[in-house]
Amino acid sequence: MKTLFILNDAPYGSERTYNGLRMAGALSKQESNAVRIFLIGDGASSAHRNQKVPQGFYNAEVMLGNVVRNSGEIGICGTCMDARGMTDNDIADGTHRSTMAELTEWTLWADKVLVF
């Protein structure tokens, strides 16, 4: 199964992105699944490098890394990165600046699209 996750919310403050990342991580661990995540709007901040969170609190960067380690792909809306002052040097390993054209391709690729 090929699943695309589109995450819109900031990584912290709401649990929508957290729950999307949890689901993506669980699916990516199963060999029969291919997972892609597209971070758009405030979701782009989820891929910011070197996040420091309170001890015991989840870390969106680490959760994205778990998906990448399981062969998942993560794209970040380039326009959304620019609006937030993020450069390619600011993003987590295994993620990449992306475009609406790539989101379109990924949507057509996916068997399921989940939007958080």
Residue 97 CA, chain-centre distance (Å), reads 11
**pLDDT for position 60:** 97
Quickly state the pLDDT bin for 18 (edges 50, 70, 90).
Answer: very high
> Are the beta carbons of 8 and 103 closer than 8 angstroms?
no
CATH number at residue 53: 3.40.1260.10
Read off the pTM: 0.96
pLDDT in tens, 46-79: 999 999 999 989 999 999 999 999 999 999 999 9
Three-state DSSP state, 18: helix
Structure tokens at 106: 């990924």
> Are the beta carbons of 67 and 32 closer than 8 angstroms?
no
Indicate the angle between helix axes 60-69 and 16-28, nearest 10 degrees: 20
**pLDDT for position 102:** 98
Q: How far is CA 105 from CA 4, 28, 36, in A?
A: 11, 20, 11
> Are the beta carbons of 5 and 35 closer than 8 angstroms?
yes
> Are the beta carbons of 47 and 76 closer than 8 angstroms?
yes
**pLDDT for position 64:** 98
Domain containing 12 equals 2-115
**pLDDT for position 103:** 98
Instruction: Give the chain's domain count.
Output: 1
Segment (H or E) for 93: none
Share of the chain above pLDDT 70, in %: 100
**pLDDT for position 1:** 97
Torsion angles phi and psi, residue 77, rounded to 5: -55, 120
What is the pLDDT of the chain when averaged over all its residues?
A: 97
pLDDT in tens, 88-103: 999 999 999 999 999 9
